[in-house]
Every structure is written in C-alpha cells, then in structure tokens.
Chains A and B, each alone.
Chain A
C-alpha cells in the first residue's frame, strides 16, 4: 500500500542522547514535512522540504535538523534530546503542493 512509513513507532530516549526519526514515502511527492503534536498546542511544523536537496525551518525548528538527499526519505534528527521534545512526531508529504497532506502513522517519543 502506497504511503508514508515512519520508524520507530515509539521510543524512550535518555536526555542528552541523539536519535534519528525515519520517514520514507513511496508516492514520489515533492514536498515533505515534520510536525510535532502536543496536547493543547496542536500540530506545529518543525522543518519542511519543498523538493529533494532543499530544506526549510518551520515554527519550532530548534533542537532538530533534517536532510533531504532524495525524494523518498526525510529523516529528522535530535542531536541532544531534552524532555521538552517529548511528543508525537508526524511526517507528511504532499504533491502537487497545496492539495492536502498524507500523514505517516507517527512516532511517539518520550525523553527522560
């Protein structure tokens, strides 16, 4: 089934450790996005990529980095995790741009 695959599904991470959340899509969508979802705050954009080779900062980029080496993959890296990064992380893609997202199933991250 075509769509977006995120891994891992959930993770408990010690503060100060690094981690990469993986996101792969097979729809050949140009644009990809990372959001975090927190109770009462909704979905907030972390980073985005309009096309392979380009990335941009969203609303809450601090503490996160991304890369877009090819069309299919858009990993999100936490270089040194802090408890405030405890959240549910969703990867999404869209193509053509502006007609709504397809979301991955999410990664639930707990930083302790």
Chain B
C-alpha cells in the first residue's frame, strides 16, 4: 500500500461546478497535510495546509481532514478553466521533516 494515495484522474468537471479531490494516507500519527497545485511543465505551488480535523476554507478552496479515517480532501468551488492542473496531496511524515507526496490527481475544468 502506498503511503499517500490519490486517484490519478483525470477528473473532469464543468465550469462553475464543485471539484472534489481526495487523498488517503497510511501513517496514522501524521499531523500535517498539504495540497499543491502543479500546472503542466511547472513546479508545484502550495495552496492549502491543514493540521486539525474539520474544514479549512480559503477563498474558493476548502480542505477537509478526517484523521480517524486517514482521509484529506480538497474542494474547489465555482471551478474555472484556470483550475485545470494536477493536484498533489502531501503528508508530513511523523518524527521527520520530510513530506510524502501522492502521485496527484489531474483536474480538467471544461468551459
């Protein structure tokens, strides 16, 4: 089992819809979780971090964390074509300063 798992997609949603991206992780004691957006040919950029159970909202983005289920998700409201990218989930490994990345979910927002 991979340490951080994501569906590779592509996930296609119409413009204006809500895109829901999911991630599961295996290290039960992980405390820090991150979402990165990566456009084709570019480097990843941090868009959300979450450390506590529940929801964290930032503009059109909402990160959700459920530690009991070892599940973290990213919701993008009012999806725009410019949101089309690969979204990487990252988990800070317990006892270290190293992040484990999922392989990413490719999102396509259709105009």
Contacts and interface: CB of A to CB of B under 8 A. Distances in A.
A42 B98 contact: no
B46 A98 contact: no
B103 interface: yes
Contacts, number: 48
Interface in B44-88: 44-46, 49, 88
B25 interface: no
A100 B49 contact: yes
A99 B49 contact: yes
Contact of A100 (B34, B102, B103): B34
A90 B46 contact: no
A106 B34 contact: no
Contact of A97 (B45, B49, B97): B97
Interface in A37-71: 40-45, 48, 50, 58
A45 B98 contact: yes
A104 B49 contact: no
A86 interface: no
A79 B69 CA distance: 44
Contacts of A44: 101
Contacts of B42: 105-106
A48 B88 contact: no
A25 to B, nearest CB: 13
Interface in B1-38: 8, 32, 34, 36
Nearest to B31: A98
A33 interface: yes
Contact of A105 (B34, B43, B49): B43
Contacts of A74: none
B92 interface: yes
Interface of A: 31, 33, 35, 40-45, 48, 50, 58, 90, 94, 97-106
Interface of B: 8, 32, 34, 36, 42-46, 49, 88, 90, 92, 97-99, 101-104
